[in-house]
């Protein structure tokens, strides 16, 4: 039995989707369950030439032998959920906790119409902030109140804990990143709830004593979408000259690019209870590393970067992404 949580260590967009997909294929979980906020987070998974961007279904969907859950703490937009079920063809193995809060059209209107949220904070406009506000006020609907969700309803904590009691492996998938946690991030430029590993466990009804590993995903060059402090941000001209241009999965806004932030990485690892780290984008540190699958073949420049990053994080780096495709990864767990 094992239970692993995978979360983002910077401001989101760290490449968690790819890391979840890889770990799923490697560790063969029976369940992959999503925590986090809701459809304001997009995860991208690339398999060969095909790219998937998902906002509700866990990004571990790419592993066909796992059931896919949406945890109790997550907000569900029934329209986005239905679209992804049809698009991915996973309706027979995807389930929603019956207590999930529901995003209504009214929440989206309030989100997009709020000058504070839309312009000052840089909200994605997906309705999550207003929906979480109504959830706290105890005025929102739950998944059990939505007729079209009836075929997918389940008790996620019961299923997860029962699976672990049977000795099965489960993955808990986080969303967003540590830097926009409501509690620990750059308030008020944050999302509408905590995003740390503790919250992802709570979102799924898994107690802290049942967590075996916390994988915190960091990006070699951190990025941020929307407003808010970003201490290592580069000028756009500098990141453009490096060939780094990215766009958000949900908003399609161009991401702000920064240099590695060792201080933030250390603090994030501490709060998240990191046991091992993943680094994505090492091919941007040195283009010669693109697609490499063995640690011994990394360049000295890349190894120097990883050594410093590991010192900053304070925990071993066990997964190194060398490109966007799911197989472009070094899994040191296999090579030790």
pLDDT in tens, 7-22: 999 999 999 989 999 9
pTM attached to this predicted model:
0.93
List the domain range (segments joined by +) for residue 41. Answer: 2-335
Q: Judge contact between 196 and 272, C-beta under 8 A.
A: yes
pLDDT at 250 over 70: no
Any idea what the CATH number is for the domain that residue 296 is in?
3.40.440.10
Does 83 participate in catalysis according to the annotation?
no
CA distance linking residue 263 with residue 117, whole number of Å = 28
Cα–Cα dist 72/142, whole Å: 10
The reported pLDDT for the residue numbered 118 is 67
**How many domains does the chain divide into?**
1
Q: How confident is the model over 264-290, as pLDDT tens digits?
A: 999 999 999 999 999 999 999 999 999
Segment 235-261 mean pLDDT? 83
Out of 43, 98, 107, 315, the active site residue is 43
Q: Is 312 a catalytic residue?
A: no
């Amino acid at each position: 039995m094992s239970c692993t949580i995978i979360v983002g260590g910077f401001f989101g967009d760290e490449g968690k989707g790819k890391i979840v997909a890889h770990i799923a294929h490697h560790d063969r979980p029976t369940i992959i369950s999503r925590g986090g906020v809701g459809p304001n987070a997009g995860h991208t998974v690339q398999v060969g030439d095909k790219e998937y961007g998902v906002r509700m279904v866990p990004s571990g969907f790419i592993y066909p032998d796992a059931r896919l859950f949406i945890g109790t703490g997550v907000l569900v937009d029934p329209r986005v959920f239905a679209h992804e079920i049809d698009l991915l063809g996973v309706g027979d193995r995807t389930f929603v906790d019956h207590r999930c809060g529901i995003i209504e059209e009214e929440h989206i209107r309030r989100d997009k119409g709020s000058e504070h949220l839309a312009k000052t904070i840089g909200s994605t406009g997906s309705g999550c902030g207003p929906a979480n506000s109504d959830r706290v006020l105890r005025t929102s609907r739950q998944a059990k109140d939505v007729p079209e969700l009836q075929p997918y309803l389940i008790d996620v904590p019961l299923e997860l804990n029962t699976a672990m009691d049977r000795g099965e492996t489960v993955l808990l998938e986080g969303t967003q990143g540590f830097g926009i946690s409501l509690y620990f991030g750059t308030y008020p430029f944050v999302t509408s709830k905590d995003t740390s590993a503790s919250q992802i466990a709570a979102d799924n009804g898994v107690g802290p004593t049942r967590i075996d590993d916390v994988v915190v995903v960091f990006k070699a060059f951190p990025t941020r979408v929307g407003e808010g402090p970003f201490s290592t941000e580069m000028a756009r001209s500098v990141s453009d000259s490096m060939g780094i241009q990215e766009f958000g999965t949900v908003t399609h806004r161009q991401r702000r690019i920064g240099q590695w932030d060792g201080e933030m990485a250390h603090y994030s690892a501490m709060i998240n209870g990191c046991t091992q780290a993943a680094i994505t984008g090492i091919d941007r540190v040195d283009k010669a590393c693109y697609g490499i699958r063995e640690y011994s073949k990394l360049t000295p420049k890349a190894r120097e970067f990883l050594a410093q990053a590991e010192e900053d994080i304070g925990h071993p780096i066990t997964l190194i992404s060398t490109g966007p495709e799911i197989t472009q990864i070094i899994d040191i767990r296999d090579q030790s």
